[in-house]
Structure 1
Amino acid sequence: MKDLFDKLKDVGRDALGTFVELDEDGNEVEAPADDPRRAPPRPSGAAPSAPAMAAAPVAAPSAAAMEAAGVDPEFVQQLHASVQASKKTAYTQFQALYSALSAIADPNQRAQLALSAAQASHGVTPQQVAEAIEDRLGILAGERKAFDKAVQDETDHTIGATQKRIDAAKAEIIKKAEEIRQLEATRAELEKSIAEARTAIDTNAARFAASYAVVEAELASERARIAPFITPNPR
């Protein structure tokens, strides 16, 4: 999850980096006028590198399809890595057997055979596979909650301090009429940087939501596929 947070922070800092830099304590300071970093920020929509996707029983969408849907391949990869931290290994065993049965065209028959093989070879029941998927969905939900908090924290950190500077600039306009042109220009620049930062953060939040939906749909599909073969626990 740290990689997701770092990417979110980088986007916010890139968007405000034209006019703001951080000191060693993480506080904002004005960038010098001749600082080479006072240049247009990187486009927030630049496509990230797309690492290889982990194999899964449900066919992953193509890179072009994910890009069209606003899915970030890096987010998808990191979310997959997060759910793989689950201690319930029944789903991993089912996945391996399901992949080994790729010659079977019917996905339902393939899932049934994989479940039967898992039970015969590893003593893994369909119920345990379902529980393992539920555990991963719980981990995925935790990643969503943590990312949402990170978005809010980064928004407050990146935009909140700049908003205070805008208010100070407005007060100076009233007090010093002779400086009004310079202060108006400063205000306009800062408001532009806020819009760029907010757009960058919102874009990455949207990419995360789309990426989350892909992984959730994969797991939900797996759960639905094996549901007919699960025997409810006797009460």
Structure 2
Amino acid sequence: MTAPLRWRVATTAVAALSLAAAAQAQDIDATLGASSALLVRGVALGNGKPVLQAGVSADAADGWIAGLGIATLRPSADEGWTTQLHARAGHAFRLDDDWSAQLAATHYAYPFDDYLRAFERDEFGATVAWRDRVFGSVTALRQAHVSPAGHRSGWAADLVLREPLGRLGPVSLALAAGLGHQDLQRRAGFSYDYGHLGVSGRVGALQFELARVASDRRARERFGPAADARWVGSFTVGF
């Protein structure tokens, strides 16, 4: 099976799983939101400018989950707006009263931009969570296109901590911090670390977050200003 054919098969499989989970969904939720920048593992996409986002997710009674999302972004100051699409399918497990786990596959696509199409990828992740406060994940990464080094794979690991801070009037606040590592040695000959520290809040269906995001020197050398430390603010409204 050729690489392009394998890629189409994987993409079709994720979409099919998403539709299957949606068909037997117990809960379906939709969100609309905006963010001051679209970041992926500490690196800004779309010229680091504000983005609009929308998504729909479905949870089935037997643990299957699925989601579809869209985000607007601008590759550079000289180019117009384009679109990132993603489809996600997976399964959630309740291990006991405190522990849960999730396995998921996600496909990211840029169907309307020839330059960004080179960044299309699949991610296959495993996450373990404790009391909705501690989250550890490992993700296998596979790019759509082979790098000059002849590889397309990599991996990432993340640890995220969330500590509720109580209520301030009608707002439920929480402190969030995370550290991550992305290994691109096979694909691009380097790896780097990234992290964030911030606060999130929720008022009914409205959720907002403000965080400081930073990456290490290796990321800044490779990605330039896209990896500079920055404040990122976002909000979403659920339906």
Give me the TM-score of the superposition, normalised by structure 2. 0.19
Which structure has greater strand proportion? 2
Which structure has greater helix proportion? 1
Give me the TM-score of the superposition, normalised by structure 1. 0.19
> Which of the pair has more CA radius of gyration?
1
